[in-house]
Amino acid sequence: MKLMRHTLLAAVALIGITALPAHAADKVCKLEITGNDLMQYDKKELKVATDCTSIEVTMKHIGKLPAASMGHNWTLVKTADVAAVANDGLSAGLEADYIKKGDARVIAHTKVVGGGQSASVTIPMSKLKAGESYSYLCTFPGHSALMKGAFIIG
């Protein structure tokens, strides 16, 4: 009986090892978007394939103005939450990247950066579901009127 259990454990260990190559199939999809001094992103939509296991978004501020006056972030939310997340972020302040503390509607966000800087954020695909409508926005006060776009999975 004891021997059988050992054999079973060895078999489990073996399965564990053979299962490892599945990890190599992780697909990190990288997206880039820029923000400028005219309060604009360069893309109106970002699209990712359904087989990505995680998504790395890099937002590069290609302007010259500092974060205090023309800072940008990249914030991912459900489209239905865009206005509320932007509104609640207004009073959060630059230190908090204009994101309300503990805002569960925020799926992911980069920090706010100024001209010449960039910031990245990685989102596990498991946080997103097919069929949901997602959008991204900049939560710097007033920016989401212009700085928003569709985040499409498919």
CB of 115 to Cu ion, least distance (A): 11
Q: Minimum distance between the CB of residue 99 and Cu ion, rounded to whole angstroms?
A: 13
Q: Which is nearer to Cu ion, 9 or 68 (CB)?
A: 68
What is the DSSP secondary-structure string of 32-88? Answer: EEEE-TTS-BS-SEEEE-TT-SEEEEEEEE-S-S-HHHH-B--EEEEGGGHHHHHHH
Least distance (Å) from Cu ion to the CB of residue 62? 12
Which chain residues interact with Cu ion by CB under 5 A?
72, 138, 140, 143, 147
Walk across the sheet containing 134-137 and list its strands: 45-48, 148-153, 134-137, 75-78, 108-109
Q: Which is nearer to Cu ion, 125 or 147 (CB)?
A: 147
Q: Which is nearer to Cu ion, 20 or 38 (CB)?
A: 38
How big is the chain, counted in residues? Answer: 154
What's the token pair of residue 37?
């001094």
Q: Are 88 and 39 in contact (CB under 8 A)?
A: no
Q: For residue 55, give the nearest of 137, 122, 136 by alpha carbon.
A: 122
* Closer CB to Cu ion, 119 or 147, in the complex: 147
- Rounded to a whole number of angstroms, the minimum distance from the CB of residue 73 to Cu ion is 7
